[in-house]
Amino acid sequence: MRAAAAENPLREGLERLPVHPTTLVIFGATGDLCNRKLLPAIYNLAHEGQLPERFSLIGTSRAELTDAQFRDQFAQSVRAFSRREPDKKVLKALLENVRYVSGAFDDADVYAQIAQALADCDEVAGQALNRCFYLSTAPAFFPVIVGRLGEARLVRDPHAEIRIVIEKPFGTTLAEATDLNSKVLSVFNESQVFRIDHYLGKETVQNVLAFRFANSLFEPVWNRNAIDSVQITAAEDLGIGTRAGYYDGAGALRDLVQNHMMQLLCLIAMEPPVHFNATEIRDEKVKVLRSIHTPQVQDIASMAVHARYTKGTVSGEDVPGYLQEQGVPSKSKTETFAALRLEVDNWRWAGVPFYLRTGKRLARKVTEITITLKPVPHLAFVQDGTVGVRPNQLVLTLQPNEGVSLSLGAKIPGTRMGIRPVNMEFLYGTAFMSQSPEAYERLILDAMRGDATLFTRNDEIEQQWRIIDPIIASWKRARSKVPQYEAGSQGPEAANEILLPGHSWRAI
């Protein structure tokens, strides 16, 4: 009989799977990330009926607020930043389940208050609710909060699952990341830890997996025999805006390459998992990272380039250089452009260069992965008077206009056998009606559900830093000036120096 089975027979056929009743505790509840992303995401989950049936939220922060004031702030955030006009009734019902605890993160009394608030939520619900601690604070507080949660005995409960969500950056060097991992894992088990890289919550990034593993067309050529090179570009036309404080301490390599672009590289290079679950996906990604050699000091100049934008013109507007941006120290050595050549030294990819490139104030905003196939071995066609036969390129565009295009050689109409490249294009926006949820909506729900597939594991983080650390250290040691590129350009000329012969950067 179905009802006696271990599985819940009522779940079958439902698109939205049940999420266990949960209390979400947000540390840094008055911060920018919480206001702009987390609270609107939680509202949208409520609007769509996706929150757990019993849900409470406890915000905590240093700011002295009453429950009512925090609820007001919550409502204002939703009105300002939600992707949809809020439904008053839903918002009102949601806010009734919101409370606030104020105090410093190193104050043991705060945790006693949180424990009491959690117990109250359980009492109202008549059951032990799962607990999800979300650390949306400055990274310096991560070890403090984790330690205090442990001391307050809030990390284990025989009747409920307890999880912790940690925002990036997860360290700024390998040593810091290892140290933080060790502190977190001295209190929580790895299975309780959800390290956010919101990039993985984007539909467009998950589509890379669907593209690779739901289509048999590409697998036969997805290796060193057919692929000449892979380029991953994350270009922005914007500058640093108001983020000088954060950005000048991070730079392009830490801001985008160490986490987001490494994730894309892993998704492109990983072996097919047997099952689409957290352990297997993350195992395969870690294998890719382990296949990338630690850059040696003597090799860094030939495989990594950094640069900084100077004043220029973007979209017809004159823009200042990085050093002239508000809040940037005049002696800053921070890079706003980084390009790397990496090799994934395994059976599938040995000898195929993976080029990674990111920068601010480039010619346009685009995130794409370009896979260039090897040229045909013999060409029987005359190429005079045409641009000629080019290697096929498969381009996965993540933004804007997410899609896939494949360049093919086609005959130019006429009496001669002239060939030129044409594009076969597919645009996701034309084929799906759905509006993609915000990355944070998906990730908050997954964390409450306990699905870690789209979160980064400790060994993954450490492997990323192992690759990035020597490059940062080398750039830091360099006495020469940071190379420059004009705002609105394709990036520095020096980026070409890391390309292997016959390769060129795809135009941004």
Q: Which of residues 411-470 bind other proteins (CB under 8 A)?
A: 427, 429-435
Angle 278-290/262-269 helices, nearest 10 degrees? 100
- The one segment of 18-26, 212-220, 337-345, 408-416 that binds other proteins by CB under 8 A: 18-26
Q: How far is the CB of 300 from other proteins (least distance, A)?
A: 35
- Is 503 designated active site? no
Q: Which of residues 292-331 bind other proteins (CB under 8 A)?
A: 315
In whole angstroms, what is the distance from residue 341 CA to residue 229 CA?
10
158 binds other proteins (CB under 8 A): no
CB of 400 to other proteins, least distance (A): 5
Identify how many contiguous H helices and E strands the chain contains and give both numbers: 15, 17
Nearest CA among 505, 487, 508 for reference residue 315: 487
Q: Around Cβ 379, how many Cβ atoms within 10 Å?
A: 12
- The tokens for 5 are 């089975």
Residue 83 near other proteins by CB under 8 A: no
Among 64, 126, 275, 414, contact with other proteins (rule: CB under 8 A): 126
Residues 38-57, one symbol each (x = binds other proteins by CB under 8 A, - = not), give --------xxxx-xxxxx--
Which of 47, 198, 260, 306 is labelled catalytic? 260
Binding residue (CB under 8 A) for other proteins from 2, 275, 331, 476:
2
Distance separating alpha carbons of residues 335 and 341, to the nearest angstrom? 17
Stretch that binds other proteins, among 83-91, 135-143, 274-282, 297-305 (CB under 8 A): 83-91
**Which pair of tokens denotes residue 502?**
């016959």
Burial class (CB in 10 A: 0-12, 13-18, 19+), 63: middle
Nearer to other proteins, 58 or 180 (CB): 58
Q: Please state the φ and ψ torsions of residue 415, each to the nearest 5 degrees.
A: -85, -15
Stretch that binds other proteins, among 58-66, 92-100, 262-270, 343-351 (CB under 8 A): 92-100
Supply 322's token pair: 């990085």
Give whichever of 124 and 301 is closer to other proteins, judged by the CB atom: 124
Smaller CB separation from other proteins, 121 or 193: 121
Tokens 């008053």 belong to 88
Q: Considering only CA atoms, which of 129, 133, 138, 166 is closest in space to residue 149?
A: 133
| Separation of CA 50 from chain center | 23
State in angstroms the smallest separation of the CB of 88 from other proteins: 8
Nearest CB to other proteins, comparing residues 26 and 149: 26
Separation between Cα atoms, residue 334 and residue 253, nearest integer Å: 10
> Does residue 507 interact with other proteins by CB under 8 A?
no
Q: Residue 263, class by beta-carbon neighbours within 10 Å (0-12 exposed, 13-18 middle, 19+ buried)?
A: buried
Q: Which of residues 238-297 bind other proteins (CB under 8 A)?
A: none
Say whether residue 217 binds other proteins (CB under 8 A): no
Site for other proteins in 379-418 (CB under 8 A): 400-401
Residue 28: partners with Cβ closer than 8 Å, 6 or more residues away: 34, 61, 135, 136, 137, 138, 141
Shortest CB 435 distance to other proteins, Å: 6
Spatial strand order of the sheet with 98-102 comes to 98-102, 55-61, 22-27, 130-135, 162-166, 193-195
Instruction: Work out whether 351 is an interface residue with other proteins (CB under 8 A).
Output: no
User: CB-wise, 49 or 502, nearer to other proteins?
Assistant: 49
**Residue 19 or 340 with smaller CB distance to other proteins:** 19
Residue 12 interacts with other proteins (CB under 8 A): yes or no: yes
- Closest contact distance (angstroms) between CB of 422 and other proteins is 15
Helices 203-213, 262-269: inter-axial angle, 10-degree rounding: 20
Which residue(s) pair with 94 in the sheet? none
Residue number, 86 or 201, with CB nearest to other proteins: 86
Largest CA distance in the chain: 85
Number of residues forming the site for other proteins (CB under 8 A): 51
Minimal distance, residue 16 CB to other proteins, in Å: 6
Using CB under 8 A as the binding rule, whether residue 87 contacts other proteins is answered as yes
Asked if omega into 483 is within 30° of 0 (cis), the reply is no
Catalytic residues: 260
Contact residues toward other proteins (CB under 8 A) are 1-4, 8-16, 18-21, 46-49, 51-55, 87, 89-94, 96, 124-127, 315, 364-365, 400-401, 427, 429-435
